[in-house]
Each structure stands twice: as C-alpha cells, then as structure tokens.
Structure 1
Amino acid sequence: VGTSIWRSLSSLFTIASGGSIGREGPMVQLAALAASLIGRWVHFDPSRLRLLVACGAAAGITSAYNAPIAGAFFVTEIVLGSIVMESFGPIVVSSVVANITMREFAGYKPPYEMPVFPPVTGVEVLLFVALGLICGALAPQFLMMMATAKKGFGRINAPLPVRLALGGLVVGILSVWTPEVWGNGYSVVNSILHSPWTWTALATVLVFKLIATAATVGSGAVGGVFTPTLFMGAVLGCLFGQGMHTLWPDGTSASYAYAMVGMGAFLAGATQAPLMAILMIFEMTLSYQVVLPLMLSCVVAYFVARAIGKASMYEITLHRNREEAERMRLRMTQMRELVRPAQTVVLESATVQEMTRVFLEYPVKYLNVTDETGRFLGAVALADITSDLLQKRDTAHKHARDDLKPTFDVLTPDMPLAVGLQHFMSFQGERLPVVESTREPTLAGVVYKTSLLDAYQRMNAER
C-alpha cells in the first residue's frame, strides 16, 4: 500500500513539473490498489480478488481516456489475457460506472478532441495498410529506446533524486527550443488534429519528444508510456499523411485522418493489444468511418511488431507470449526431443549377477536388453530376478535372454507427445525405451515419465 501511494505521489510531481510521461499509470495503480484493499477487507478468495483488481484497473484506464469499452478490453487483453464473460461482464460494468462518475465532475472533458473522420474509399485504404506497416516497425524501436534509456541511467552511480533531476534537465533543455515536448502532450495532439503543421515542425517535435520521453522514463520517473505512445502515433500518422498528400493530392484525406489512425496503430504495435487500440480510437471519434482504416492499420501494426521485435509495453504481455510460444512448441513436440541416454542396458548374454549389479546401482523396475548390434530385444523385470534369488533357484547358467519380455512397449522418435502419454498410461515404470523404428528397433535411448508429464502439463497450462 505504502509503495503504491509513494509511486502515485512521485508520478504526480513528475507530471506537474512537465515530465514527458502519461498520467494513466498512477490512475490505474491507485484504482487497482483501492479495489485490492476492498477485496481484502471483505475477505474475497484469490480468484474474486484478482477479478476485483482487474475491475479497478479498467476503471482507472477509463477515467484517463474516457473510453469505457477500450478500458475493459485493456484489462482483458493485457492483464487477464483472455475474454471470458465471467470476468468481462464485471469489468465492463466497472468501466462504465467509472466513466459516468468522471462525467459528473465539473469541468471534465475528454483528453483528445477528435475531429470528424472523413470517408475513406477506393485504393486510399492501402495507404492505411502502409501506415500500419510503418507503425508496427517503429513501435518496437520506441520501446527498445525506452529500455536502453533505463539501462543508461541505471549505470549512473548516483542516487535516484539525482537521476530524476538529470532527466528533468534534459526535458527542460529540449523545451527551450521546442515547448511542445513539455508534459504529456495532450494539447499538442489536439493541435495536430485541428490545425495545420509543417512537416519540419512535426519532425522536430517527434525527435525531441522521443528524447524527452526516453530521458523521463529512463531516469526512473513514475508514470505511463501509454500517452507518449499515442503522441508518437499521431505525429507519425500526420507526417505520413502529409507525405502522401504531396504525392497524391487529389486522392488522399487530410493529414489529421492519418494522425488519428496512427495513434491506434502505434498503440497496437507497442501494447500488442490491437482490439483495445481499435476500440479506444473508435470511442474517441464515435465515427463508423474510422473503423475500416483503423482495423487494417492496427492489425497490420500488431503482426509486424510481433514479427520484428517481440516487444511489448507491458511485461505481462511478453510473459504470456513466451508461454503461448512454448505451448505451441510443445504441441509439435515429438519423442525425439525428450530422449535421454539409456543407462540401464544389458546385453542378451548378461548373467543374473551382472543384471543384479545394475539393479542395485539404478532404482529401476526393468532393464533394457539389446544384442551386440544395439538392436532392442525386450526387457528384464526386477520382479523376475528377485523371485529367482528369493526362491534360491539355480541361476548360474541363466542369462538375460531367458527372462526376456519380448512384447515390452516401446516409443519411436516421431511419436507425438499425446501418443507417448497413452503408452505411459498402461505402463507402471518410470521410463520407456525409444527405438529408431519398429522395423529397425535399434535402441536410441529412453524417455522418462516425469519429463513427458512436465511437457504435457506446460502445454495445457492455463493462461
């Protein structure tokens, strides 16, 4: 609790002093903290407490951007990772109530005042696909620059207040030449959407804002990168729109249309949550005309960003992507990836004394038996050897081939994970032999039951 409050206060001072960072971070954190405290006070079980905290986070993001539907999808796409009605319903209610509550405060207005989106027809739609490609390619670079700035400031052997002051100094120096880099950038984006800018002014504010945001975030300031991401998308989209209008003046919409779509596309590439980005811009514009170009740009940006950088604004998204990639890999796993060297192997000519020595050395129930060429012949059970010894039978002339179980179950390297599991279901031992093929049963190794069960569990783990 104390940490969250201190972080929120720190963010308040950073934003109030002109730091190039968003306000949504502390709003989400405080709302989630309040939900967590309420849930603990009424003794919610862990699953209900998790849902309540998600509702608080959705309320926080809704309060920041006046987008209740996008706020709900922000939590379900990024935090929870899946849209399930049992959780999505309460989150939507929380977002809507938060939005209604915010509207009751005097002087409240949405952060972005969107103009009317023009109709987009014909081949101009392809230009928005190109914009999605550009945003998808640059969004991971933006996130990498933030990470590099954090590492760079981390190498400075100075207390945190000194690093924060250094970040503020960078922003202050930049704002002398370009005051637009000051603060979260709401007013600048609104100006881009409603008044003409020269391409030189846009390029300058883009570069300086990028440096200012990296300095603020890297210095350790607390806040959100959500708003600077929207800023970058708006400026990139406006630059792209101006360039296309210069090349094709009679066939393109005004540059502010590309700025609006660029906000969503860059956000989709940075957060890897395209549905949330689409809904957020749609809610801000309340225009059906924006839907088609926005969907194209956001989806293209999402896939390009994932293909290039595998980066996301939120660590939880990266963790979930890694888990999903691991599950996909495991679905394609064959027994060859789980094969280990077979240590409990004896020749068919092995004596009872030799087999007993191996049983004493390894805690196994079966020994794999091969001929001199490595061909798998079957297995010898510990129970059979133990029975001979307990009943004091004459074993002087007995060999492994005499106690062989020729119908012993085997795996093959190309056998899928699920099929291997079925073989283990009817087997009492810890490991099964793997042969090269049923026609050429050369022993390739063994697969341990624990390894297979671990892989199967990770493949079917809940998100």
Structure 2
Amino acid sequence: MVVGLATLGLIAMIAVVQRALYGQASEERFASIVGDSPIWLVLLAPAVGGLIVGGLIHLTKGQRYHGIADVMEACAVRGARMDVRSGASAAVAAAVSLGAGAPVGREGPAVHIGASICAWLAEKLGFSQSDSLTLLGCGAAAAVTASFNAPIAGVLFALEVIVGYYTIRVFAPIVVASAGSVMVRHTVLGDSTVFTLPVFSLNSLWELPLFAVLGIVSALFVLALIYAVGHIQTFWQRSRAPLWVRPAFAGLLLGAIATVFPHVLGSGFQAVDLSLNESLLPGFLALLLAWRFVGTSVALGSGFAGGVFTPAIVFGALLGALLWIGFAAVMPGLVSAHSVYAIVGMGALGSAMLGAPISTVLIVFELTGNYEVTIAVMLAAAMASAVMQLSPHTSFFRWQLARRGVNITSGRDQSLLRTETIEGVVKQECSFIASGDKIIDVERLLSRDRHRIAVLLDDDGNLLGSGNLRMFVAASIDHGFDAPAADVLHSPATAIAEHTNLVVALQQMADADMDYMPVVTATDGEEAPVFRGIVVRAGLLKAYYDVIRAARAEEFGVN
C-alpha cells in the first residue's frame, strides 16, 4: 500500500508540474492542452523542464536517472541493495520531465521508487538477500499495478523482469502487494482504465500470420529505437556539453516540434485513444509515429527521466494501426478492425521493449478481457521476443545495462556467490614452521602432516610466507635440501582477505595457480597481514556448490 500511495503521489506531482507550466493538467488530453497553448509557451515549457532536470543532475553531481534497469541490476548483481536517495531524486526528475511534456513513461520511475522504498525497509529490518529480493519484487508489482490498474500483470512483471524466477515463497508476498496497491488505486482514483477501448473481435484466425508479421516489425522498431538513443547519447558524450545543458536543449527541440505537431509531447495516451477509436489517415499516422520516435529518442538520449513501457504502448498502437491500413488494402474483407491491430501492436512492441512477453500479454488481456485478441497478442509477442533474442540486445533494459558494462546473464547465481564470503571455509589446516628451518626439515614435517601446507609467521602472528609440499620438493631440486625454507615461500601478497567472496577467491586462486591460499586480516599501518587460516580449492568449490544448490532449491520450492 505504501508503494501504491507513492506511485499515486508521483502521478499527483506530474499533474502539479503540468499545471505550473501549462496552466492546466490532464494526462489523457495533454496533446489538446499543448495545441491550445500559445506558441511561446509550447516552445519554452519543455525547455524549462529540461533546465530543471539538468539542474537536478548538476546538484546530484552528475548522477544519471535511475529506472527499471537499475532495479534489475540491484536484484541480479548487487544483492537487492539500493540507495533510497536515488529513488527520491529519480521521482522529482521524472515528475518534472513528464510534467514538462517529455514523451516518456511514468512506470519506470514508479518501479524504481517502489523498489527503493522496499530496499530501504529490507535494510532497516535486517532482511536476508533472498527476502530483500522478494520485497523488491513486491515494490515493483505494486508500482505497475498502481500505474496501469493491472494487478495480474504487475505480479507477472515482478516475477518475470525483476525477481527472475517463480516460487510460492516469492509469489505469495508479491500477490499481496499487488492486491494492496490496486485497493489504494481504486480508493483514490476509482476503477478507471488507462484507455477507452472499443468493442472488437477477430474476423478470422486466418489473420494470425499477419499478427506474426506485426510482431517481427515491432521488434525491428525497438531495435531502431535502441540504435537511435545510443547514437544520441554518444553524440552528447563526444560533444562534451555539460550534463545540465543536454535536457534543456532537448526540451527546446521538443517544443519546436510540438508547435507543429502537439502529439509529440506527453505520455501519448491521447494518440493511443485516437488509434484505437478512430480510423486515421495513413499520412497522419506515419507522421505521428515518426515524430514520436524522434521525440522519445531525443528525450531518452539527452537525460530526461522516464520509462520506456508507455512509449512502447504508444508506438505499438500507432504501428499496428498503420500496418492495418496496408493489410486492409491488400486483403480487404479479411482483416479485423484497425483497433484490433492497434491492441496487438501494443502487446508486441511492449514485449520487445521490456523483454517480458508474459507480462505484456497479461496487461493487454486485463485491458480487453478478450480471449481471441489475447491469442493474437501472444503470437505477436512471441515473434517479437524471438527476433529480440536473435539480436545483440534482448530488451531495452538489458541494452542499458550492457552499455554500462553490467552483465546480468548469470544473474542471481553470481549475486549470491558475490555476497557469500569465504569465512565459513577458513580452516587451521596447516603446519607452522620457524624462520631457521631448512627445506629438508619442512619436507619431512609435511610428509607426516595430512595438510601438506606450511606457514611462516612472525612473533605477532603476521604472515611472512607459505608453501605446500609440492613446492618444497621442487625447490629442493633447484636450491638443495639445506637451503633456507623461508627463501622459497610464496609472498604474503598471495594471501586473500577473510571477507573476500567466493567468486573473487576462486579467481585469485586460479590466477596464482595455487590449490590453497592463506587468509589474512590486514589493517592500515601494519607491516604484515595478520594470519587467520587457510582455504583450499576443494573447500571453496564445495561452498560454491552449496550456494547454487540452495538457490535452485528455493526456486523450485524445495526445503
């Protein structure tokens, strides 16, 4: 419920900014508001919003906007930990961006705000990583539910995109969070839907190949958007223009386009309603789609804060309606109403953008309640997802993460392994030698010792070196049996800290070509690290296996 209220608070903040800049507020008829406003206001309002967003970037020392991709990163590789302050700054930047008319969505900031609140709660309550991950999923589900009045889709979105797996342990809390959020939305806003939908149905299942084509084209459209946003970001990086200038310049450009084409600004819900309920001219549809593409690319590439799912819904509706015109011209009498293709386009393009076909299909089903249309959406979403899987970027969010150098392919397993330290496998399985011992003395000692590892410490317990039997045997051939053992020991630099995680420990052991490593605790100012024990490769691998096995057991609901 808290996240639901926070999401509704974001919606209210957007309305406040709209009213302050344009004199009135309405997300559903924003294009009409822009069209009725003086040209000077249309030019300046987005630029002023961009200037404020740029100022926020400057005040936060260049901190970029945070969204759904950051929540995915937190869940996959950061142990479900997030900074609640970044959520607060993202909320303000998103409210200003959307209120000023940036053609982006509110669902991205809403999910990030919800996840940030839940991450803060998890940290304060001392939750484990697994429970924190579940709580972040609850925040995401509640945010999507409050944004779109789609509780089932909110649950599936959290499981499919944020958490990444399904178990009863995760599923039950997320359902409760989504139910609480929809209660809050209905109490405050009533049982209203985002779009006004006409009554429609499929003419024939023989249309399914056309919907498959729509799915493929939708995926190609998303790849084009990724390409455009990436090139705009690269342009700004090469220009070395200050970060705070970029959104202001983008806002001025958006305002200039809006003086001729008001539909370029805002969430685009009015454009979706037009494509669903009116038969638009192909030229107008093509221009609307093209200018929205330019506007969204410029906004996302220049630093405006907002999500990409709402733009995907808008693009999908316009693309579907545009392709319907072509299909109807070639096969008159066969194709269904243009609104059917608009709805299917929404699902297909949303699926390609998010990389979440199940969630987008469920959103469309909740909006329409029509099984036949849902079958068409499933096919189009499947084709769109297949094309995205063949591309280097399986979704817009994964492209964002890849651009930052974050790989979440190994996902949750790597996150768990990186939070599991070696402390549980540190053993005192070694023999201690004196500084005056010869190689032959150590060989005899280790021959009788089952551990076969020797450690040299100073009087304060600081590590001076280590070695195993195999190393001493090789050293006796090169240096002779009477050579000092201390001269052939591995340096203390080969040791690892006791708080090192399993992934790093195994990597360091492989890099050093050793089957054991000394474990130390070093503090600033000490001449030598304090010895704590030994870890062996077999112990690390067993701990590695135990972590993966526990993760699989949780995913499949095995105690």
Displacement of 1:152: 2.0
Deviations 1:234-268 (A, max 9, x none): 11111111110111111001111111001111111
Which residue number corresponds to residue 323 of structure 2? 240
1:366 Cα shift?
Answer: 7.2
Report the CA distance between 1:159 and its aligned residue. Answer: 2.8
Distance of 1:122 and 1:263 partners within structure 2: 19
> In the TM superposition, what is the alpha-carbon distance from 1:62 to its structure 2 partner?
1.1
Aligned counterpart, 1:322:
409
Residues 457 and 176 (structure 1), Cα distance of their counterparts in 2 relative to 1, 3 Å cut = farther
Q: 1:84: which partner in 2? A: 167
2:354 corresponds to:
271
1:251 corresponds to 2:251: no
- 8 Å Cα contact 2:202/2:340 also seen in 1: no
Q: Where in structure 2 are the equivalents of 1:60-79 lying within 5 Å?
A: 60-79=143-162
Q: Is the 8 A contact 1:67 1:283 kept in 2?
A: yes
Q: Letter of the aligned partner of 2:268 in structure 1?
A: G
Q: Deviations over 1:381-418 (max 9, x none)?
A: 969x99xx99xxxxxxxxxxxxxxxxxxxxxxxxxxxx
Q: Which runs of 5 or more structure 1 residues have no equivalent in the other structure?
A: 328-355, 357-362, 368-380, 391-428, 432-448
Letter in 1 for 2:156: F
2:200–2:337 CA contact under 8 A, matched in 1: no
- The question of whether the paired residues in 1 share the 8 Å contact of 2:103 and 2:267 is answered with yes
Q: CA deviation at 1:171?
A: 0.9
TM-score by length of 2: 0.58
2:293 is aligned to 210
Residue of structure 1 aligned with 2:366, choices 280, 283, 286: 283
For 1:310 and 1:136, the matched residues in 2 are separated by 11
1:50 CA displacement: 2.4
Instruction: Tell me, yes or no, if the aligned pair for 1:274 and 1:298 is still in contact at 8 Å.
Output: yes
Counterpart Cα distance in 1 of 2:353 and 2:85: 30
Letter matched to residue 47 of structure 1: S
| Residue in structure 2 matched with residue 131 of structure 1 by the alignment | 214
> How far apart in 2 are the matches of 1:109 and 1:45?
38
Identity %: 30
Larger radius of gyration: 1
Cα–Cα, structure 1 residues 117 and 459, in superposed 2: closer, same or farther, change >3 Å? farther
**Distance of 2:309 and 2:231 partners within structure 1:** 18
Specify whether residues 49 and 453 from structure 1 end up closer, same or farther in structure 2 by C-alpha distance, changes over 3 A only.
closer
**How many residue pairs align between the two structures?**
363
Does 2:84 correspond to 1:19? no
CA distance in 1, matches of 2:266, 2:191: 19
Per-residue deviation, 1:208: 0.6
* Contact 1:278 1:295 survives alignment (8 Å): yes
TM-score for the superposition, normalised by structure 1:
0.70
Q: Deviations over 1:24-54 (max 9, x none)?
A: 1222222222223333343333322221122
1:10 equivalenced with 2:93 (yes/no) = yes
Equivalent pair of 1:140/1:309 in contact (CA under 8 Å): no
Q: Quick one: distance in 2 between partners of 1:34 and 1:323?
A: 26
**How far apart in 2 are the matches of 1:72 and 1:283?**
13
Deviation by residue 1:95-127 (Cα, 9 ceiling, x = unmatched): 122112101114662222222331242321111
2:285 partner amino acid: L
Q: Could you tell me which of 224, 233, 236 is aligned with 1:150?
A: 233
In the alignment, is residue 47 of structure 1 matched against residue 134 of structure 2?
no
Distance in 1 between the 2:233 and 2:391 partners?
21
Q: Which residue of the other structure, out of 107, 114, 119, is the alignment partner of 1:36?
A: 119
Q: Per the alignment, do residues 300 and 247 of structure 1 end up closer, same or farther by CA in structure 2, a change over 3 Å counting?
A: same
Contact 2:308–2:353 (CA under 8 A) maintained in structure 1: no
2: CA distance, partners of 1:256 / 1:283: 16
Cα 1:266–1:169, aligned 2, differ >3 Å: closer, same or farther? same
What whole-Å deviation, never above 9, does each CA across 1:315-354 have from its counterpart, x for those lacking one? 3986676338x99xxxxxxxxxxxxxxxxxxxxxxxxxxx
Residue 119 (str. 1) matches residue 202 (str. 2):
yes
* Counterpart for residue 171 of structure 1: 254
What's the CA shift for 1:188? Answer: 0.9
What whole-Å deviation, never above 9, does each CA across 1:271-309 have from its counterpart, x for those lacking one?
A: 211111111111111111212111111111101111023
Q: Which amino acid aligns with 2:172?
A: G
Q: Which moved more, 1:157-166 or 1:206-215?
A: 157-166
Residue type of the alignment partner of 1:117 = F
What's the secondary structure of 1:112's corresponding residue?
Answer: coil
- Give the whole-Å Cα distance in 2 for the aligned partners of 1:430 and 1:32: 41
Distance 2:187 2:342 in 1: 30
Distance 1:38 1:460, change over 3 A: closer
Offset at 1:148? 2.1
Aligned residue runs from structure 1 range 281-360, under 5 A: 281-315=364-398, 322-323=409-410
CA–CA separation in structure 2 for the residues paired with 1:143 and 1:243 = 26
- Return closer, same or farther for 1:46/1:453 CA change in 2, 3 Å cut-off: closer
2:138 and 2:265 map into 1 onto residues whose CA distance is 32
Equivalent position amino acid for 2:110 in 1: M
1:76 and 1:457 mapped to 2: Cα distance? 25
Give the structure 1 partner of residue 273 of structure 2.
190
- Structure 1: distance between partners of 2:251 and 2:236: 13
Q: Specify whether residues 127 and 459 from structure 1 end up closer, same or farther in structure 2 by C-alpha distance, changes over 3 A only.
A: farther
Give 1:93's aligned amino acid. V
Query: Quick one: structure 1 residues 261 and 364, their matched pair in 2 at CA, closer, same or farther if it must change by over 3 Å?
Result: same
Task: Give the secondary structure class of the aligned counterpart of 2:188.
Answer: coil
**Aligned residues of 2:236 and 2:246 also touching (Cα < 8 A):** yes
CA contact (8 A) 2:247 2:304 kept: yes
1:368-447 pair list within 5 angstroms: none
Distance 1:93 1:16, change over 3 A: same
Quote the Cα distance in structure 1 between the aligned partners of 2:389 and 2:254: 31
